[in-house]
């Protein structure tokens, strides 16, 4: 996507990352729109709204790309946000439909309360929105989610591949490499989601808080970014090495996503589960929009320096195009990893 938009409109990578971030933000922010819409009008109206807005926004994007009008960065960002809303509405409505049917992650049978599987105590069930906002657990988890890395790598993997390749690399090979890496990320995201949900039921039955798996998920994402940061371009240009990074980031990111509803309900109760979810989700786009913006600014600055030195003018080549962004991502993800440990200690003490 980024190469096509840059070539078509002459936008910088920072501009393209802002547009992409708008679409990704919809995956989190639209829960606050979909929830009330579903509560008031039901699933049919909610889904028809998604179909209409998705079709209209895709149509406007196509017309803009064909040259019928120019949306600019702001207009394209809005269209991508609407597309994100439409594409996420279906999967966001599904858990709302099943809101009153608490299932385990491993089988289609209800969770039955006992000394091992009881998720909530009476205090948590009665937590109000104000109590949620006043809870230290909320702010630790909110900060952790905002700082979690992964989406920036997924959105910019094509830039990483191109910057690590030679200037004479075959464009088709670069496209194929990007497709392979994104496929690996998607596969391991699915594995992470299934694995984290399944294992969380097992550890809960043993009296261990589910949040211990959050430590593993955050740690795996950290290792994936650490491998990106320590590698030179010769390593990053190897498909197998980048595939390892993609697998780790996808696995941890998928696990993190699977644990979100379980931990949110477990920490804050079911009475205001939707409100608690919205509180956590609303800050998440700030994290990856900032990360994407930093990645784009660093890349654009290095590209400008490369041009002024008489180098290529279209793309930035070399580790210097990526190194600062990788270091920032590593430090940020380490903080998120440390917060996951703190959260586990707090939640496990509650069980003792």
Residues 59, 133 within the same domain = no
Band of the pLDDT at 93, cuts 50, 70, 90? low
Name the residue among 251, 184, 266, 180 with its Cα closest to residue 218.
Answer: 251
**Which of the residue ranges 46-60, 144-158, 178-192, 323-337 would you say has the lowest mean pLDDT?**
46-60
Q: What is the pLDDT of residue 225?
A: 97
Segment (H or E) for 157: helix 151-164
Over residues 98-122, the mean pLDDT reads 42
Tell me the percentage of the chain whose pLDDT exceeds 70.
82
Average pLDDT over residues 270-294: 83
Which range marks the domain in which residue 131 is found?
Answer: 105-351
Say how many CA atoms lie within 13 Å of 88 toward its Cβ. Answer: 19
Long-range contacts of range 186-189, CB-CB < 8 Å, 24 or more positions apart?
186/250, 187/250, 188/246, 188/247, 188/248, 188/249, 188/250, 188/251, 188/254, 189/250, 189/251, 189/253, 189/254, 189/257
Query: What is the spatial distance between Cα 126 and Cα 96, in angstroms, rounded to a whole number?
Result: 20
Reduce the DSSP state of residue 311 to 3 states and report it.
Answer: coil
pTM over cut 0.95: no
CATH number at residue 122: 1.20.1250.20
Domain boundary at 101, 125, 141, which? 101
Identify the domain boundary among 101, 117, 151. Answer: 101
What's the CA gap between 7 and 346, in Å, rounded? Answer: 50
Could you count the other beta carbons within 10 Å of the beta carbon of residue 299?
A: 24
Helices (H) and strands (E) in the chain, counts: 14, 0
| Number of other CB atoms surrounding residue 171 within 10 Å | 10
Burial (Cβ within 10 Å: 0-12, 13-18, ≥19) of residue 47: middle
- Say if residue 267 is in the same domain as residue 138: yes
Domain count, the chain: 2
Residues 17 and 115 in one domain: no
pLDDT value at 8 more than 70: no
Asked whether residue 66 falls in the same domain as residue 147, the answer is: no
């Amino acid at each position: 996507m980024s190469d096509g938009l840059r070539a078509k409109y002459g936008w910088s990578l920072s501009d393209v990352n802002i547009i992409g971030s708008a679409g990704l933000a919809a995956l989190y922010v639209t829960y606050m729109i979909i929830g009330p819409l579903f509560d008031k009008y039901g699933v049919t109206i909610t889904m028809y709204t998604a179909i209409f807005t998705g079709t209209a926004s895709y149509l406007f994007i196509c017309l803009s790309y064909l040259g019928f009008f120019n949306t600019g960065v702001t207009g394209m960002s809005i269209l991508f946000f609407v597309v994100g809303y439409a594409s996420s509405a279906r999967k966001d409505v599904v858990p709302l439909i099943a809101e009153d049917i608490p299932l385990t992650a491993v089988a289609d049978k209800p969770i039955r309360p006992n000394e091992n599987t009881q998720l909530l105590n009476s205090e948590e069930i009665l937590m109000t929105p104000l109590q949620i906002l006043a809870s230290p657990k909320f702010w630790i988890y909110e900060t952790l989610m905002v700082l979690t890395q992964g989406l920036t790598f997924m959105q910019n993997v094509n830039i990483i591949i191109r910057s690590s390749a030679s200037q004479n690399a075959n464009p088709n090979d670069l496209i194929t490499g990007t497709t392979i890496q994104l496929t690996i990320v998607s596969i391991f995201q699915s594995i992470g989601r299934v694995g984290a949900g399944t294992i969380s039921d097992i550890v809960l039955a043993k009296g261990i808080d589910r949040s211990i798996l959050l430590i593993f998920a955050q740690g795996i994402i950290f290792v994936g970014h650490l491998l990106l940061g320590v590698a030179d371009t010769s390593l990053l240009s190897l498909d197998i090495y980048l595939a390892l990074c993609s697998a780790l980031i996808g696995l941890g990111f998928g696990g993190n996503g699977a644990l979100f509803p379980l931990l949110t309900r477990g920490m804050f109760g079911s009475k205001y589960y939707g409100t608690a979810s919205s509180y956590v989700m609303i800050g998440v786009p700030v994290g990856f929009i900032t990360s994407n913006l930093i990645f784009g600014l660093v890349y654009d600055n290095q590209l400008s320096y490369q041009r002024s030195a008489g180098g290529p003018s279209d793309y930035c080549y070399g580790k210097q195009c990526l190194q600062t962004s990788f270091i920032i991502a590593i430090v940020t993800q380490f903080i998120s990893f440390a917060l996951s440990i703190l959260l586990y200690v707090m939640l496990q003490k509650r069980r003792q």
